[in-house]
Amino acid sequence: MTSQHREPVTRDRIIDAALHIVDGQGLGRLTMRRLGDALEVEAMAIYHHLPRGKEELLDGLVAHVAVDPLSATAGGEWQDRLRGWAAGYRERLLEHSGVLPLLVTRRNPAALDGTTASVQEVLGRAGLREETAATGAHTLMGYLIGHAALEARGRALSEAGGPGGAIDWDLRFTGGLDVVLAGLAQS
């Protein structure tokens, strides 16, 4: 805290600063040079903490938005547990909607596949047979990511003065989620 020394540059501070840039200015404006500026350091210093460079930086952003359903608040029916997890995940994705395109890329497989496996385990514990649980996990993850993408686009467009300002996205999301859960309970 002595004012003559700046905060040490750490992996966590780098990811945080990068997320801040993406949230405020968009993914396209996240450059190593700008990130260095935000950390009050030359861009080249970042490579000392992230040897794989920008690739590793983007992997870190993806990992940061992931939410695991097993660690989400437990209790209640499996439908309600998944509803709680989905609500949290959706919130996170919209808060950092700039990273959404990164989820769609091959990037950081562990983050997405780990979450999918956890969803499958929740469904398995609920009594669904393995193949149904696997399909259900993919369906839920697909819906979650896809709907978040549509919602992020829709919200940004209506903010920019486009049509569709009348859409109640909360209702749309929970409504669609209920459709998927109803279909799942029945299979």
Summarize as ranges the residues that interact with DNA (CB under 7 A): 8-9, 29-34, 36, 41-45, 47-49, 53-55
Query: Taking a C-beta distance cutoff of 8 angstroms, is the pair 46, 14 a contact?
Result: yes
- Answer with the entry of a second copy, DNA, none that 65 interacts with (C-beta below 5 to 8 A by kind): none
The option from DNA, a second copy, none interacting with 146 (CB < 5 to 8 A, set by class) reads a second copy
Q: Residue 187: what residue type?
A: S
Residue 38 binds which one of a second copy, DNA, none, with CB within 5 to 8 A depending on kind?
none
Q: Least separation, in Å, of the C-beta of 107 and DNA?
A: 13
Query: Which residue is associated with the tokens 């590793």?
Result: 56
Give the nearest distance from C-beta 180 to a second copy in angstroms. 6
Tell me how far CA of residue 32 lies from CA of 13, 14, 26, in angstroms: 14, 10, 14
CB of 109 to DNA, least distance (A): 18
**HEC states along 54-96?**
HHHHHHHHHHHHCCCCCCCCCCCCHHHHHHHHHHHHHHHHHHC
Report the run of H or E that residue 103 belongs to, with start and end: helix 100-104
> Which residues are at the interface with a second copy (CB under 8 A)?
100-106, 109, 112-113, 116, 134-136, 138-139, 141-150, 152-153, 156-157, 162, 164, 171-172, 175-176, 178-184, 186-187
- Identity of the residue, 50 or 133, whose beta carbon is nearer to DNA in the bound complex: 50
Spatial CB neighbours of 175, under 8 Å, sequence gap ≥ 6: none
Minimum gap (Å) between residue 124 Cβ and a second copy? 16
- Tokens at 97, concatenated: 């909607």
Nearer to DNA, 22 or 177 (CB): 22
Cβ nearer to DNA, comparing 43 with 134: 43
Cβ atoms of 62 and 102 closer than 8 Å:
yes
